[in-house]
């Protein structure tokens, strides 16, 4: 069974988990020297993610019990962070996979 971090962080649980995965995403993007490219992609995706998130919350698709209760533009602040962290993490993994693959054999894995 996984530890109950909700007992530790309470209403900040969702935000705390986003900070951890956001830091991982940031490290991966920095390692691949892809912060600017990822930022542009996330900026383009953000409006679509916002509309999708707002709609699903409005119709009751999901509930977020362990959140701060702070809302911005009609959705929880945690969801705004989520809409940045998820694509950043995906792009960070993607950039590192391709960066490693595209390296010359004699330098692969030496960072």
Q: How many domains does the chain have?
A: 1
Count of beta carbons in the 10 Å neighbourhood of residue 105: 6
Q: What is the pLDDT of residue 108?
A: 54
Q: What is the pLDDT of residue 100?
A: 65
Mean pLDDT for back-to-back runs of 10 residues, the chain (111 residues): 89 96 98 96 98 94 91 96 98 89 57 52
Tell me if 87 is assigned to some domain. yes
Q: What is the pLDDT of residue 11?
A: 95
Tell me if 25 is assigned to some domain. yes
pTM of the model: 0.83
Whole-Å CA distances, 86 to 11, 20, 46, 80, 110: 20, 12, 11, 10, 28
Tell me if 111 is assigned to some domain. no
Q: How far apart are CA 42 and CA 52, in angstroms?
A: 15
Tell me if 36 is assigned to some domain. yes
* Domain interval for residue 60: 6-102
């Amino acid at each position: 069974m996984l530890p109950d971090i909700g007992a530790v962080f309470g209403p900040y649980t969702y935000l705390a988990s986003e900070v951890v995965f956001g830091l991982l995403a940031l490290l991966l993007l920095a390692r691949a020297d892809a912060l600017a490219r990822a930022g542009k992609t996330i900026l383009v995706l953000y409006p679509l993610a916002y509309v999708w998130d707002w709609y699903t919350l409005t119709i009751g698709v999901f509930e977020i019990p362990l959140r701060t209760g702070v809302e911005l533009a009609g959705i929880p602040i945690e969801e705004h962070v989520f809409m940045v962290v998820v694509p950043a993490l995906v792009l960070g993994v993607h950039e590192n996979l391709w960066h490693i693959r595209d390296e010359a054999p004699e330098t692969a894995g030496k960072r």
